[in-house]
Structure 1
Amino acid sequence: MKKYISQLQQFWIDHFLTRPGNLKALRITMSAVFGLFLFYLLGYPKWGLLVGLGIVAAALTENEIHVRPAIKSTLVISFLFFIFSSLTNILMPHPWAFGIFIVVATFLLTVVGSYKSSYASLGFGSVLIIIYTMIIETPVDGGWYLTPLLFCVGVIIYMMSTIVLVYTNPFQALKNEVSLGYNMLGKYMQTKAKFFPSTAEEQEEIRNELALINIELFSQTEKIKRLLQQYNTVITPNEEKPLRKYIIEWNRLQNLHERAVSSHEPYDLISKKSKNTMLIKGFGKLLYETGGAAQQYAASVLQNTAYQTPTDLTWTRNALENLVKQEGYLEEGSISYLFKNISSIGENLSGNLFDKQYLLKSSPEKVSMKEIFSVKNARFRHAVRLSICFLAGYAIMVMFDLTLGAWILLTSLIVCQQTYNATRQRFFRRIIGTLLGVLIGIILAILVPTPLGQLVILIISMYLFFKYLSSNYILAAIFITVYVLEVYNLQNGSGIAVMIPRIIDTLIGSILAYLSIRIIWPEWQYKHLKPLLIKAIDRNKNYLEAVMNMALPDEVYLHHQRSVHRADNALTEVWKSMRIEPKSKRKLLTSARNFTYLNHSLLSYISAFGVHRQNLDFKDVDFAYLREIIFTLDEVKQYILGNEELDCPPLEDMLIDAQKAEDSKGNELFLKNILNVSNEMKDAALEIKF
């Protein structure tokens, strides 16, 4: 018996405790099962289905981390759901009035997210509940208020599970995100390990892969920061000490991120400096094992267990250190710095060497009404597009008397995103997922015709929908389609009959969403390239100056470090999105790619400099390098802006002598690399034509 209990516990740890997405999907599903079972016992099984929809809508709306805001959210979400569902039931018999209502409500509920980020999810959930009310049939024995009340019951059931969770484990959300951050850090290092060794062709592919992982990793550190700031406003005095632990973990993660991103010299040059291939492969092995250690550290954070340094990492580090000694590289050269940097990551994970508790204060969200309702506001443009989609979709629904035409609006809500890139991806994934879901759903309906079997499929489909919602939208669309089919089967046995209308409505809604982003204020990425390049150059300059200013407080240095990563990620996102835009709109694609690589290289070299800044002494020649680098980056800005060249000052004598040295060490090693990349950026800027 103990054996089975132990296996069950391990299964729980492996599949739920260490996988927060699975755990949330399970919580939502169990809430829905409770609602279904409760109303089945009360003799109203169909009411349980409506409660289930309320639970789904609440789960897509709520994201609370503490008891007090969770209780407040329960009241707010219930109030909004009741009001908008009631208005829908009252106005639906009057097409003109309802048409005006749904367009205005959609616009206001969407644009309100510009005022405060937490309002965005409330707005989305309220629009979703309007559509759910349109889709379902109000029970014949209930008035206009019955459906809204059942939705509110669903909200209360789900939010009770949230309140219990955050009460029993108030830092679970933070623990999940910190663990995910270390997992992503490990993935980044294991991908970077492919550089040792690698060819020039392979390096371009690796850089592309790293740039995309870096977007996810930095975005995760930003998410952790916002979560910490959110906790900081709601915790009790007794919870301040455990929160400090996670602030330290966030600072540690950023420090290790800087170390992981850093480059000490072009990788082909490092390979050329040593003819010992075992040494180069050893660096790859050490970096890969360090990435694995970061992922084990992530598991220890999630499970509240002590982290133990992997034996493979210790063995690899010792073996590589011996190789480095044999080759005579334990001095101030690129191979020496590279070894010390990678080794320090593993040491930082295994010891209590890191105790910084800096948490950048969140600035209050202050947005004026003028800014909210400005065409320059991306969310305003999105609200206009979505409202027009709803207007067109509802007009089609009324004109052609489509009984299930509300699915057109539901599809448009899901597919229509703020950018062309995101909308295009949702467009194809929604259609493919729906078609496959219809096929699978029909097969299951034929094979499992009994109500009990259909109920089991419905529950499994709900779980799998939420499990894959954020990671694989095609699978999510498949399972939500199967879920819908089973809901209709359980209501009135019409599951298979409604699948053809679902396909047609999905196609119409998807096309409306695609056309809206394609025609109404299209967000072509080449328009954003110039300002993002200027911002990235300025942020790199500030970062380099911060590295060489030892009097700068650590909090200010951290601010510059985060700002430069934010600018680098924005530039990478533009290039990434540009690649899938229509060919006629891929202007400056080659330039965007070149500048993305060069900017990330510049950031990597400055990061390497920053990693070792506490152990460096700056001399006059170092500041001469700094002045030359700043001037070169200013030239890059002028070329991008299309201005005349700056008057170039003569190269300082000490800099001329320093550049003649064949093998640079210490500070010059870093500064030379930074200057070389800056000059490459200047050459690239001369060729770009905006």
Structure 2
Amino acid sequence: MLKRRDYYSTVFLYFLKIAIALTGAVIFPIWLGDGKLSIPVILGAVAAGLTDIDDSLKGRLTNTVIILVLFFIAALGVDALLPYPILFLIAIMASSAFLIFLGSLGSRFATIPFGTLVIVVYAMLTYKAERPWFLLPSLLVSGAFWYSVVAFLFNIALPSRPMQEALGKCYQELAQFLEAKSLFFDPDDDSDLTECKLRLTQISQTLGSTLETTRISIMRRLKHERGRRSARAILNYYLAAQEIFERAGSSHVDYQELKKEFPHSDLLFRFQRLMSAQGFACQKIASELLYKERYHHDGHFKMMFTRLKESLGYLTQEYQQESQQRLLYSTGSLLKNLSGIDEILLSLDREKELLLTAKESAVLLAEPKTDSSPMLESWRKVSRHFTPESPIFRHAMRVSLLMGIGFILAEGMNLIYSVMEGETVRLTTPYWIMLTSVFVCQPNYSATKTRTIKRLSGTVLGVVVTMLLLKLGLSREGQALFVVISGTLFFVMRQARYAYATALITMMVLFCFNLIDAGFVAPERLLDTFVGSLLAWAAVTYIYPEWRYRQLSVKIDAVKMANVAYLHEIAQQYHHGRVESPLYIKVRDDAGGRAGELVSLFSTLTVEPKTTRETLDYLFKVLALNNTFLSYISALGAHRAALGDAVVLEILDEAVSRIEYYLTGDEPLDLNEHQRFLVRIEEEREKLSVDEQRLEEISLHQVQLLLRLLPDYVEAIQTPK
């Protein structure tokens, strides 16, 4: 008996969809009376599954038409050109590069071309010269069409499910982020928090990427439903996640100084407990989105905040030194920030409280307008990658060469077999070399290395398990069942458990060939997988090697510019008032995204050859400083609202101008003049009444934090290694 959680489980629903699609692909050819036709139908369904893109019903229909047309043309091209090796070699290399370049147009144009490349190799694997020219393309397309029908029906039955899953993942990662941030207040941790900061940066990068993927999914899904309440509710959850992330990622105090000044108070413990509880609340919101479990805001939060305020008030009375008072005041700003998170969580408990009006949601979902035609804009996007400096160009050249070399090797094997047999032989199994290369070759060295190891180990495991099952005398019906099960589990596991997914797809292929009496092809599968993986590894190692194109200074410049744009937009809202405008969301996401790219680069460099210890140490330093700098900017963003004090606004504008000047230029920082500006800010803070000028005090404090860090930050980013 399935429970409610099982029914709404992402894995269960995906498993069910794939299982239905593959079952139909297996049964239909058998029902027609020719089981040997099942392989191209199954492979067509698999290729369509690899190109499945979450979209609205209209968008999914458009995608399906594009996929079916491209698949038919690709399969038809294979059938027409494969007998002419020279022509086919030219065509496969040119089309491979072309399809990779199309990926620069967006996620849809990255996924569909990849599936088209896969269908080309699938057509080669199932090619038979004696068949009518239209049969193979029709079989492959029929499998793709059947999968698309199943996916379309699931879309109709559960239209909001993909967005709910994406948002649920966002809130799960938000829970991890808040829990990791709470460790900064661990009263028993006497370390310098380096490990905590690195872990938080890694989680932040993952969360930022998930939020961006979710944004794209929401934009694609809801662009035709801008004013509907359901669309506004989805946007509400997304914007709430973005604001919680901004607030949770902000910094108001020096955590080590806080521990040093108040080591025996309960203040640290209470902050840690509160942030951990807010993380748990995010986990419960994820459960609401994923499993329809109603979220109720915990009433204990009110008591937590009350006790924290009492503790803060007691310390304020007990510790009268100016430095301690300033630190406690900053801690009060942190408490206010966490109160903001609490208000967001509470609003999500009240379904009627939508943060957005229909007009606001329409503005956020509106597509950006361009002055040029769509074709010209697409050409500009693609043409800017016609340089070795672009990772898309490097990947396109590698894949093109891999397809060409793989085809030459396969033809060479067929030539050897022909000489040995004394007659012309055309085996299709050597084309597995090309298929392996397509799946294993990734845009960077570290990802390809990881994929190579997993592909090889998974293939060996799949062969061993298949041999054991066949030794046990598995019936033909049992083998057909395993084709469906292994193919379904391949899709379920291919993102998180690639080695196991490879084992499963290997089992599916071996059982398919065994069912059509093609013999046991495991040795060929092992050999071709090894050769294809080796070629992919060699391609990323020697063809436009990544270490020659790290562009560290370019990436750091992009981080600087993103931070400046984010800070500038925040300053504007201190003039005109808080608003979740598309521009603000964009610059905030860009700043987080650029920081995430630095984290990814650091992870990549740790496993790449020719990476020096000096480079890693330098990049780690930049990461740490940028993480702190961005957290101070985020704190300004979290508290943004219209300021009424003209002097404070003037100081804020001057601070932003100074930061922009030194981050975007090459001039060294004038430390004496910089210190005088800091003194001026401190004098202005002393004039403010804490009770009457709360927002002004917070904004000046955050500006001080930014400016105090600026000399170290500028020194680091202006001297890249």
TM-score normalized by the length of structure 1: 0.88
Q: How many angstroms apart in 2 are the aligned matches of 1:430 and 1:630?
A: 52
Q: How many angstroms apart in 1 are the aligned matches of 2:19 and 2:101?
A: 31
1:173 aligned partner:
162
Q: How many angstroms apart in 2 are the aligned matches of 1:473 and 1:312?
A: 42
2:464 aligned partner:
439
SS in 1 for 2:546: coil
Does the Cα contact within 8 Å between 1:457 and 1:486 map onto a contact in 2?
A: yes
Does the Cα contact within 8 Å between 2:45 and 2:144 map onto a contact in 1?
A: yes
2:545 aligned partner:
522
Does residue 1:459 correspond to 2:484, yes or no? Answer: yes
Report which stretch shifted further, 290-299 or 265-274: 265-274
Report which stretch shifted further, 629-638 or 608-617: 629-638
Q: Read off the aligned partner of 2:714 and give its amino acid letter.
A: K
Q: 1:565 aligns with which of 571, 587, 592?
A: 592
Deviations 1:104-126 (A, max 9, x none): 22222222223454222221111
Q: How many angstroms apart in 2 are the aligned matches of 1:45 and 1:337?
A: 70
Q: How many angstroms apart in 1 are the aligned matches of 2:254 and 2:653?
A: 20
Q: How many angstroms apart in 1 are the aligned matches of 2:514 and 2:562?
A: 58
Please list, as runs of the form range in 1=range in 2, the aligned pairs for 1:576-587 lying within 5 A after superposition: 576-584=603-611
Q: How many angstroms apart in 2 are the aligned matches of 1:617 and 1:133?
A: 69
Does the Cα contact within 8 Å between 2:20 and 2:150 map onto a contact in 1?
A: no
Report which stretch shifted further, 193-202 or 429-438: 193-202
Does the Cα contact within 8 Å between 2:251 and 2:631 map onto a contact in 1?
A: yes
1:510 aligned partner:
533
Q: 1:344 aligns with which of 323, 327, 340?
A: 340
- The 1:281–1:478 alpha-carbon spacing in structure 2 relative to 1, beyond 3 Å, is farther
Deviations 1:605-654 (A, max 9, x none): 1211221233866563674476357536644554xxxx553666735767
Q: Read off the aligned partner of 1:268 and give its amino acid letter.
A: Q
| Deviation at residue 188 of structure 1 after TM alignment | 1.1
Deviations 1:372-422 (A, max 9, x none): 544444323322210101111111111122732111101110111222232
| Deviation at residue 506 of structure 1 after TM alignment | 1.3
1:424 aligned partner:
449
Does the Cα contact within 8 Å between 2:678 and 2:704 map onto a contact in 1?
A: no
- The 1:585–1:46 alpha-carbon spacing in structure 2 relative to 1, beyond 3 Å, is farther
Q: How many angstroms apart in 2 are the aligned matches of 1:201 and 1:421?
A: 31
Report which stretch shifted further, 188-197 or 356-365: 356-365
Please list, as runs of the form range in 1=range in 2, the aligned pairs for 1:5-20 lying within 5 A after superposition: 7-8=1-2, 10=3, 13-15=4-6, 17-19=8-10
2:74 aligned partner:
84
2:101 aligned partner:
111
Does the Cα contact within 8 Å between 1:333 and 1:669 map onto a contact in 2?
A: no
- The 1:343–1:456 alpha-carbon spacing in structure 2 relative to 1, beyond 3 Å, is farther
Does residue 1:407 correspond to 2:432, yes or no? Answer: yes
1:192 aligned partner:
181
Deviations 1:634-683 (A, max 9, x none): 44554xxxx55366673576742655899996334322221222122134
2:562 aligned partner:
539
Does the Cα contact within 8 Å between 1:54 and 1:151 map onto a contact in 2?
A: yes
Does residue 1:183 correspond to 2:172, yes or no? Answer: yes
Q: How many angstroms apart in 1 are the aligned matches of 2:669 and 2:193?
A: 34
Q: Read off the aligned partner of 2:213 and give its amino acid letter.
A: K
- The 1:670–1:647 alpha-carbon spacing in structure 2 relative to 1, beyond 3 Å, is closer
Does residue 1:359 correspond to 2:364, yes or no? Answer: yes
2:693 aligned partner:
none
Q: RMSD across aligned C-alpha pairs, in angstroms?
A: 3.1
Q: 1:594 aligns with which of 615, 621, 627?
A: 621
2:498 aligned partner:
473
Does the Cα contact within 8 Å between 2:93 and 2:401 map onto a contact in 1?
A: yes
Q: How many angstroms apart in 1 are the aligned matches of 2:310 and 2:470?
A: 65
Does the Cα contact within 8 Å between 2:178 and 2:248 map onto a contact in 1?
A: yes
Q: Read off the aligned partner of 1:400 and give its amino acid letter.
A: M
Does the Cα contact within 8 Å between 2:402 and 2:437 map onto a contact in 1?
A: yes
- The 1:657–1:95 alpha-carbon spacing in structure 2 relative to 1, beyond 3 Å, is closer
2:322 aligned partner:
none
Name structure 1 gaps, 5 residues minimum: 1-6
| Deviation at residue 90 of structure 1 after TM alignment | 3.0
Does the Cα contact within 8 Å between 2:56 and 2:220 map onto a contact in 1?
A: no
| Deviation at residue 685 of structure 1 after TM alignment | 4.6
| Deviation at residue 277 of structure 1 after TM alignment | 5.1
2:142 aligned partner:
153
Does residue 1:368 correspond to 2:357, yes or no? Answer: no
Deviations 1:201-223 (A, max 9, x none): 47212221221221221122222
1:3 aligned partner:
none
1:383 aligned partner:
396
Q: How many angstroms apart in 1 are the aligned matches of 2:674 and 2:122?
A: 69
TM-score normalized by the length of structure 2: 0.85
Q: 2:124 aligns with which of 131, 134, 137?
A: 134
Does residue 1:606 correspond to 2:597, yes or no? Answer: no
Name structure 2 gaps, 5 residues minimum: 318-324, 418-426, 691-696
Q: Read off the aligned partner of 2:250 and give its amino acid letter.
A: S
Number of aligned residue pairs:
670
Report which stretch shifted further, 344-353 or 258-267: 344-353
Deviations 1:120-171 (A, max 9, x none): 222111111111122236497x423222212122122111112212223332
Q: Read off the aligned partner of 2:701 and give its amino acid letter.
A: L
Does the Cα contact within 8 Å between 2:43 and 2:140 map onto a contact in 1?
A: yes
